[in-house]
Amino acid sequence: DTAVSQTPKYLVTQMGNDKSIKCEQNLGHDTMYWYKQDSKKFLKIMFSYNNKELIINETVPNRFSPKSPDKAHLNLHINSLELGDSAVYFCASSRWGPTEAFFGQGTRLTVV
Amino acid sequence: AQTVTQSQPEMSVQEAETVTLSCTYDTSESDYYLFWYKQPPSRQMILVIRQEAYKQQNATENRFSVNFQKAAKSFSLKISDSQLGDAAMYFCAYRSVGTSYDKVIFGPGTSLSVIP
């Protein structure tokens, strides 16, 4: 009964490939996010969804396309992977408003 | 735009001692939430403590407490009786209240080592 779960935990792939990371939350939250953590551990928001609607896109390359089929899921699809995409990607969710975000365990993406 | 700064990239503390991690933020808003998250080597993000800006009382959670200075836009975390399991990256974070531009903004983190 993990609150926010994302799969896979690890992903190694070649440049140019397309890959997806899945995220599901069972907390009944309205808002879901994708964050990218780089090699220096800096966490930067990529996307924010509220009730399946995109509300934040932080100038992420359009090779990254989030998809929210319902409030409990927010998947991240990445086309034409580049070496610089290597990072840890975190999915998170929260209630709408001033509450904390709950994070998944992260997906370490390595592009070779 | 809001920003969060943590001026100490690395800190160390002796086991059982007390350590304080610094955080400052910049905002023009009067109401917001502040958080400290811990990220151990397992990379799981764990909420340590939260503070509501309209509350003057500093939040405490067991060995963790904050010193919230709203006028100075400062939000430091004090860890008392440090334990080996406290070794981790600590992130200070900010979230607006009542805005449609909703996100949690993180500082760059402080890596805390605990010396046995």
Domain ranges of chain A: 4-111
**Residue in the block written with tokens 């990379």:** B43
Q: Which domains does chain B have, with CATH numbers?
A: 3-115 (2.60.40.10)
Residue A3 in 3-state DSSP?
Answer: coil
- B96 to chain A, any CB pair closer than 8 A? The answer is yes
Interface of A with B in 14-73 (CB under 8 A): 31, 33, 40-45, 48, 50, 55-56
Nearest CA in chain A to B100: A55
pLDDT tens track for A34-83:
999 999 999 999 998 888 888 878 878 999 999 999 999 999 999 999 99
Q: What is the mean pLDDT of chain B?
A: 93
pLDDT tens-digit profile of A21-43? 999 999 999 899 999 999 999 99
Q: In the predicted model, is pLDDT for residue B31 greater than 90?
A: no
The answer to whether B49 touches B59, Cβ cutoff 8 Å, is yes
- Which phi and psi (to 5°) does residue B3 adopt? -135, 155
CA–CA min distance A97, chain B (Å): 6
Residues of B in contact with A40 (CB under 8 A): 108
pLDDT of residue B29: 85
How many inter-chain contacts (A to B, CB under 8 Å) are there?
64
Name which of A43, A74, A99 to mutate to probe chain B: the one with the most chain B Cβ atoms within 10 A of its Cβ: A43
Domain A4-111 sits in CATH at: 2.60.40.10
Residue type, A46: M
Lowest mean pLDDT among B48-57, B73-82, B84-93: B48-57
Residue B100 has pLDDT above 60, yes or no: no
Q: Is the pLDDT of residue B102 over 90?
A: no
User: Quick one: tokens of B112?
Assistant: 């805390």
> Of B25, B15, B21, B38, whose CA–CA distance to B77 is shortest?
B21
Query: Smallest Cα–Cα separation from B36: which of B23, B18, B17?
Result: B23
Instruction: Find the CB nearest B33 among A98, A102, A105.
Output: A98
Substitution target from A37, A48, A100 for chain B, most B beta carbons within 10 A: A100
Asked if the peptide bond before residue A8 counts as cis, ω within 30 degrees of 0, the response is yes
Tokens of A99: 């509450």
At residue A95 the predicted structure's pLDDT band, cuts being 50, 70 and 90, is confident
Six-digit token string for B40? 């151990």
Question: Rounded to the nearest 5 degrees, what angle is found at the Cα of A5, between the Cα atoms of A32 and B50?
Answer: 60
